[in-house]
Amino acid sequence: MQDKAVDDWIEALLRQMTPEEKAGQLVQLFEFEAGDPDIAAEVAAGRVGSILFVRDPAEIQRLQRIAIEQTRLGIPLLFALDVIHGLRTIFPVPIAMAASWDMQAIEAGQAIAASEARTIGLHWTFAPMVDIARDPRWGRMIEGAGEDPFLGSAVAAAQVRGFQGAALGTPGRIIAGPKHFAGYGAALGGRDYDEAEISESELRNVYFPPFKAALQAGAANVMCAYMALNGVPATGNRWLLRDVLKDEWGFTGFTVSDANSAYDLCEHNFARDPLDAGTRALNAGLDMEMSLLVKYSAFRHLPQALANGDITEADLNEAVRRVLTAKCRMGLFSNPYADLATCDVTLADPAHRDAARDAAERSFVLLRNEGDLLPLDRDTLASLAVIGPLADSARDTLGPWVFDHDLDETVTVLEGIRNKVGEHIRVDHAPGVSMIARQNPSFFDSLPGLEPAARVEVDDDAEIRRAVEQAKSADCTVLVLGEAQNMIGEAASRSSLDLPGRQQELLEAVIATGKPVALLLMSARPIDLKGAAPGAIVNIWYPGSQGGAAVANALFGEAVPGGKLPFNWPRSVGQVPLPYARMKSHRPDERNVRYWNEEGSPLYPFGFGLSYSKFEYSNLRTARPVIMLGETVDVEVDLANTGRYVAAEVAQLYIHQRHGSAVRPVRELKGFRRVVLKPGETRTIAFELRAEDLSYWSSASRGWVQDETIIDVYVGTDSAARLVTSFEVRSPEDQ
């Protein structure tokens, strides 16, 4: 239907609805166990408009039939699930995909996830998570794109395009729901769910841009944050949801709470009771409430709030209108049922696994490679020791936030290596130490139908001795260490960046053998290795269904690591937060403005990542030495592959504004290009700096400004780039 036809049809439907039916459309409930009679009863009574966490196609069909055939108006349900980095085919975790700096790969991966979700009857994902995260103690940084708003915005837009397609309702695509609006990644101390205190300047310059980029890419839903932002809970924050999101930005989609976050306005000591909580959330601009259980629904009290005069019929209708519009745009009124005959074919598509393997290869970050230990040479190796509690853990290879995966088809690192070398190289394996789940299991560890977290329990003393003997007898050791998948994610913040358990002891014991050691880190946050220096270090993140195959390709040079860190890697937890885009202050020498007991710089800077090949940058230039306010300037640099491998390099452009109406960071990412070069090839890399790239929100003027100033431009392989040029920005009046 055309826009006016959709609007007219929805208005006609609204006129038929009772307050109870309207409130029902704004309630979303979990179904934790298929066939739950309480959920079916709520659907039949018209008291629910959306269901989440259903993964069985037949159950989705059953509930949809109840909604359409047993309710007065036959309004279809929206089915949603956290499809974060894949449904059946699991891609690397989101921060790993951000480390690829490859927007085409990110978009393609989420398009595959969307196709698998839609084929089983799902319509909506609670992704992408676009929260900026500058404190690696926060577990949910795994779901985002790291610490930088420019990279985060690019990744957010790519994910939305992948999930949702060119327009809402594109066949084989689903509704994208960027989250958590806003500031959730700035929780105090990196403690999940804790409050966030963020200035408006930082909100608009750092935390808002990825959300704006997601909306510009077409995202039809936005999820609210759990926590209080500057003293007001995000789910009841009228400034966030109405003033900024809907009025200033013109968002026409619908908002949804995070699990129980409307009901929990009482827990915040913000609302006096559930009736007040529902009233405040709707008035603030919340359109749909997600509730773990019926008893935790605040929006079920909306008819009473309307009768009391605490909410207006216009506001209630507006929320319902936004939800019904999404259902209509997704085609649910005309075609509410999935074609189950296509499920098995889509979910088993081998092209999806190939894409997952390729994505993992693009995400790996080579942090250290002394003496060019990597890639390994199969022709000279007779034996390998593959050691570590994560080396053969299928569940950990996938990472958190997966719910419909297949462990039997997941390729672990050990399996990938053995498949690669066959009978030509002896491969020994020892877990080395125990890997036991964290002491306080999260909500997700107890959900029905999900396997428990993987556990490795051994006699650590005996196992370390066995691992050392294997390392001594092998030509090279591949150590796979890090964090179990349930040690990071929601409700999985950490006060330490150390390797859990006795992995540090294992690492140092294997290095002490004097044999070559390649360390693969399976994690999504920086890890403090306490100065231990194996020959090579590769951050493989949680690489997904084909992770082990991708790792094997990278180890033996069939894939060349080209990923770059999406965050600063601190030397110790005492440095955090340590954003690269810091402000200069009283003393320009950073050693005097940080800590006296260790260097102030990160161990690895934002954007860092080595390659098996070598790259050189030269001849950085701008098209003009002077531009006027509002104009664009072109920047070019020559990039040469001076090494021996065909390889990808991410050329990065940073700016620094020397003076203006407010202090600006020492470096800000404003452009990047991932390019593949052959050995000996040189290419000119072009960037464009627009007026919006040179503008910022100033607390001095309480608005967006572009200053007359001098801009320094740095281009190189990471945020510590030294190749620099500059240009001046003038007002036309100065000519």
- Distant-in-sequence, close-in-space partners of 358: CB < 8 Å, separation ≥ 6: 105, 550
* 497's tokens: 């960046």
Looking at beta carbons, which pairs linking 58-64 to residues 24 or more positions away fall under 8 Å?
58/340, 59/31, 59/34, 59/35, 60/120, 60/121, 60/122, 60/338, 61/121, 61/337, 61/338, 61/340, 63/31, 63/39, 64/121, 64/336, 64/337
- Exposed / middle / buried, residue 313 (Cβ in 10 Å: 0-12, 13-18, 19+): exposed
Element (H, E) at 704: strand 703-705
Residues 434, 431: Cα–Cα separation, whole Å: 7
Phi and psi based region of residue 555 (left: phi greater than 0; alpha: psi -120 to 50; beta: remaining): alpha
Among 192, 258, 707, 718, which one carries the catalytic annotation? 258
Query: Which residue has tokens 């773990």?
Result: 292
Total Cβ atoms within 10 A of residue 198: 16
- Please choose, from the candidates 209, 208, 293, 262, the residue with its C-alpha nearest in 3D space to the C-alpha of residue 36: 293
Tell me if residue 473 falls in helix, strand or coil: helix
- Please choose, from the candidates 527, 150, 538, the residue with its C-alpha nearest in 3D space to the C-alpha of residue 360: 538
243 flagged as catalytic: no
Q: Positive or negative CA dihedral for 429, 435, 436, 442?
A: negative
Query: Which residue has tokens 């066949």?
Result: 171
Residues 498, 24: Cα–Cα separation, whole Å: 47
SS (H, E, C) 418-467: HHHHCCCCEEEEECCCCECCCCCCCHHHHCCCCCCCCCECCCHHHHHHHH
Q: Contact at 8 Å (CB) between 120 and 60?
A: yes
DSSP string, 213-277: HHHHTT--EEEBPSSEETTEEGGG-HIIIIIIIIIIS---SEEE--TTTTGGGTTTTSSSSHHHH
Q: How many CA atoms lie within 13 A of 413 on its CB side?
A: 37
- Exposed / middle / buried, residue 499 (Cβ in 10 Å: 0-12, 13-18, 19+): buried
Q: Contact at 8 Å (CB) between 722 and 708?
A: no
- Distant-in-sequence, close-in-space partners of 164: CB < 8 Å, separation ≥ 6: 114, 170, 173, 174, 175, 176, 217, 218, 219, 220
- Helices 503-511/460-473 angle, 10° precision: 30
Total Cβ atoms within 10 A of residue 348: 14
Query: Which residue numbers are catalytic?
Result: 258
